[in-house]
Structure 1
Amino acid sequence: VITHAPLVPAWEKRFQTDARAKIIHHGTHLEGNDLNLEEVEDILEPVPTLSTKNSQPSTDSRPIGRERDIQEVINYRAVMDYLDTLVPSRGTVPERNSRVQLEKGSSADEGTVPTGTHIPLTPSILAEVHRLTVEHILPQDEAGQYRSVKVIIRNTQSHEITFRPPGPFEVPGLIEELFKWLASPEGQEVHPLLRAGILHYELVRIHPFTDGNGRTARAMALLLLFLEGYEVKKFFALEEYYDAHPEEYYSALQSVTISHELTTWLEYFTLGISIEFNRVKSLVHKLSLDLHLKSTIGGRQITLSQRQIKLVEYIERHGEIGMGNVRELLSDVSDDTILRDLRDLVTKNLLIKKGSTKGTKYYLKK
Structure 2
Amino acid sequence: MKKTDFSQNAPGKIIKSMRGYFTYIPNPLPPEIEWTPRLINHLTQAERSIARLEEVGQAFPVPHVLVRPFVRKEAVLSSQIEGTQTTFQNLLHYEAKQLTFLAEAPDAHEVQNYVKALDYGIERIQALPMSIRLIKEIHAILLKGVRGELSTPGEIRCSQNWVGRPGATLENAPYVPPPVDEMKDCLAALEKFIHEDSDLPALIRIGLIHYQFEAIHPFLDGNGRIGRLIITLLLTTWHILTQPLLNISIFIERNKTEYYDRLLAVSLKGQWEEWLSFFLNGVNEQAQDVVLRINSLQTLRVKYQEQFSNDRNREKLGEVVNYFISTPISSISQAQENTNLGSYTMIQRYFDKLVHYGVLEEITGGRRNRIYQATEILRILEE
After TM superposition, the score normalised by the length of structure 2 is 0.60
Indicate conservation of the 8 Å contact 1:146/1:171, yes or no: no
SS at match of 2:174: strand
Deviation at residue 209 of structure 1 after TM alignment: 0.8
Superposition map of 1:16-95 within 5 A: 16-46=67-97, 67=106, 69-86=107-124
Report the CA distance shift for 1:84/1:155 in structure 2 as closer, same or farther (over 3 A).
same
Indicate conservation of the 8 Å contact 2:121/2:233, yes or no: yes
Match of 1:199 among 200, 205, 209: 209
Aligned to 1:332: 352
Report the CA distance shift for 1:232/1:31 in structure 2 as closer, same or farther (over 3 A).
same
SS at match of 2:353: coil
Look up the equivalent residue of 2:86 and give its one-letter code.
L
CA-based RMSD = 3.8
State the alpha-carbon separation in 1 of the partners of residues 71 and 324 from structure 2: 23
Deviation at residue 267 of structure 1 after TM alignment: 1.1
Deviation at residue 79 of structure 1 after TM alignment: 0.7
Indicate conservation of the 8 Å contact 2:56/2:291, yes or no: no
Match of 1:265 among 250, 262, 275: 275
Aligned to 1:128: 137
Superposition map of 1:146-157 within 5 A: 146-155=156-165
Aligned to 2:152: 142
Indicate conservation of the 8 Å contact 2:56/2:294, yes or no: no
Superposition map of 1:1-366 within 5 A: 3=55, 8-10=60-62, 12-46=63-97, 67=106, 69-86=107-124, 115=127, 119-137=128-146, 138-139=148-149, 142-155=152-165, 161-185=173-197, 188-231=198-241, 233-288=243-298, 305-306=318-319, 332-333=352-353
Indicate conservation of the 8 Å contact 1:129/1:219, yes or no: no
Indicate conservation of the 8 Å contact 1:147/1:209, yes or no: yes
State the alpha-carbon separation in 1 of the partners of residues 122 and 58 from structure 2: 25
SS at match of 2:243: helix
Aligned to 1:297: none
Indicate conservation of the 8 Å contact 1:153/1:161, yes or no: yes
The structure showing larger relative contact order (alpha-carbon pairs under 8 Å, at least 6 residues apart) is 2
Report the CA distance shift for 1:258/1:282 in structure 2 as closer, same or farther (over 3 A).
same
State the alpha-carbon separation in 2 of the partners of residues 34 and 331 from structure 1: 30
What is the count of residue pairs matched by the alignment? 264
Report the more deviating stretch, 275-284 or 18-27: 275-284
SS at match of 1:9: coil
State the alpha-carbon separation in 1 of the partners of residues 57 and 74 from structure 2: 23
State the alpha-carbon separation in 1 of the partners of residues 65 and 160 from structure 2: 43
Deviation at residue 177 of structure 1 after TM alignment: 0.9
Q: Deviations for 1:197-248, whole angstroms, at most 9, x for unmatched residues?
A: 1111111111101111111111112111111112253322111111122112
Q: Deviations for 1:69-95, whole angstroms, at most 9, x for unmatched residues?
A: 23311211111111220355xxxxxxx
State the alpha-carbon separation in 2 of the partners of residues 288 and 280 from structure 1: 12
State the alpha-carbon separation in 1 of the partners of residues 321 and 149 from structure 2: 48
After TM superposition, the score normalised by the length of structure 1 is 0.62
Deviation at residue 164 of structure 1 after TM alignment: 0.9
Report the more deviating stretch, 280-289 or 212-221: 280-289
Look up the equivalent residue of 2:318 and give its one-letter code.
S
Q: Flag structure 2 segments of 5+ consecutive residues without an equivalent.
A: 1-51, 301-314, 326-349, 360-383
Deviation at residue 130 of structure 1 after TM alignment: 1.2
Identity %: 20
Indicate conservation of the 8 Å contact 2:121/2:134, yes or no: no
Q: Deviations for 1:130-186, whole angstroms, at most 9, x for unmatched residues?
A: 11111124457811111111112113599962211111221211100111122223x
Look up the equivalent residue of 2:263 and give its one-letter code.
L
State the alpha-carbon separation in 2 of the partners of residues 249 and 230 from structure 1: 23
Report the CA distance shift for 1:148/1:6 in structure 2 as closer, same or farther (over 3 A).
closer
Deviation at residue 46 of structure 1 after TM alignment: 4.2
Deviation at residue 120 of structure 1 after TM alignment: 1.9
Look up the equivalent residue of 2:173 and give its one-letter code.
I
State the alpha-carbon separation in 2 of the partners of residues 146 and 334 from structure 1: 50
State the alpha-carbon separation in 2 of the partners of residues 311 and 22 from structure 1: 15
